[in-house]
Each structure stands twice: as structure tokens, then as C-alpha cells.
């Protein structure tokens, strides 16, 4: 995306000590977002966590709040409504609904820890027209696992790992 296509997102810092969102590396899709508070999440617990920032997302764009893969892998921490959506018209504090999926360990986060990533996407709106029937499609009404599990996609040409397991 060229700089001309990049939106300018206005950020209001609601807490002077919290860092602004930032990209860790050139070309990253997600900008890192920090917590504005210390958080302790017991196993299975979820909590709405403050970030100390509010955004003005430009019209025609939306901000999606994604989990951080490292926190998911190391701590079992995810976002309940992933991805969360920050609409262009919303001006309140960006909040992140975190969930500790680990069944035995408490997750402890300190103020300033990176807890999520913000991904900005151009979006369109739709007009809705009620009809009595929908046009046919190749997929039809199949959904929620109708295409099968992993086994349905694996054939004999995929090599197996040591011990006979598949490398998926």
C-alpha cells in the first residue's frame, strides 16, 4: 500500500503513560496495542481491558483488534470476539476483551504490555433487499464444517513426520 492509500488515524491518548500503537517492523499488518492497566486473569477468566487510547478511524475504513500470536502460544491468551471491530464513528476508549484459555495458569499482564494488534482495512457498506428466495450457488446451504475436517483435505502425497504423524 502506498502512503497515498494509507489512512491517517487520529489517536487521542486518554492516559499519558500509555504508548501509542506502533508497527514493530516495516510492512507489518498489525500495529501493537498496549494495556493501560495491570491485569490478572485466572484460568478461564475473561476481562474487558483498557488501552488508554481512543481512535478516529476515517470513513470507509475499520479497525480490527486481533490477538497477538505470541501471547496465544505462550500464555493461552486470546480475544473473545476476535477480531473486535472499531467502527469509523466510534470515539470511545478502545477496549480489549481478553480471555485466558489456559486451564491451570493465571496470566499476569503489566501496564504497558502489548496485548493486541490493530489492523486497518478499507470497508464498504451494503444495501439490504428482502426476497422470498435466494439464487442458487455451488455451495448452497452447506456451512459449519460441511466441507469436512483435515482428513478430507489430506491425500497420500503429503509426507508424514517422524513417528508417522502428519506435518500440518
Residue list, annotated binding site for substrate: 68-70, 81, 85-87
Alpha-helical (H) ranges within 9-149 are 69-75
CA-to-CA distance for 67 and 124, rounded, in angstroms?
24
Q: For the chain, report the end-to-end CA distance as a whole number of angstroms.
A: 31
Degrees, nearest 5: CA angle 160-165-153: 70
Strand 84-86: give its sheet, edge to edge.
Answer: 31-34, 114-122, 61-67, 84-86
CA-to-CA distance for 94 and 86, rounded, in angstroms?
8
Q: Which of 80, 83, 75 is nearest to 43 (CA)?
A: 75
List the binding residues: 68-70, 81, 85-87
CA-to-CA distance for 14 and 82, rounded, in angstroms?
24
CA-to-CA distance for 49 and 35, rounded, in angstroms?
7
Amino acid at each position: 500500500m502506498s502512503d497515498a492509500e494509507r489512512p491517517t488515524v487520529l489517536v487521542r491518548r486518554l492516559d499519558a503513560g500509555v504508548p501509542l500503537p506502533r508497527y514493530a517492523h516495516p510492512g507489518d499488518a498489525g500495529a501493537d496495542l498496549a494495556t493501560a492497566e495491570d491485569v490478572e486473569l485466572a484460568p478461564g477468566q475473561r476481562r474487558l481491558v483498557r488501552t488508554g487510547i481512543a481512535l478516529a478511524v476515517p470513513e470507509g475504513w475499520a479497525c480490527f483488534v486481533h490477538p497477538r500470536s505470541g501471547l496465544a502460544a505462550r500464555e493461552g491468551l486470546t480475544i473473545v470476539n476476535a477480531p473486535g471491530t472499531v467502527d469509523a464513528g466510534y470515539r470511545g476508549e478502545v477496549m480489549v476483551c481478553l480471555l485466558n484459555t489456559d486451564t491451570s495458569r493465571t496470566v499476569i499482564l503489566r501496564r504497558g504490555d502489548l496485548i493486541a494488534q490493530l489492523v486497518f482495512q478499507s470497508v464498504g457498506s451494503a444495501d439490504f433487499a428482502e426476497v422470498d428466495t435466494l439464487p442458487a450457488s455451488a455451495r448452497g446451504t452447506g456451512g459449519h464444517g460441511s466441507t469436512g475436517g483435515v482428513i478430507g483435505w489430506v491425500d497420500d502425497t503429503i509426507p508424514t513426520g517422524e513417528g508417522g504423524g502428519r506435518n500440518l
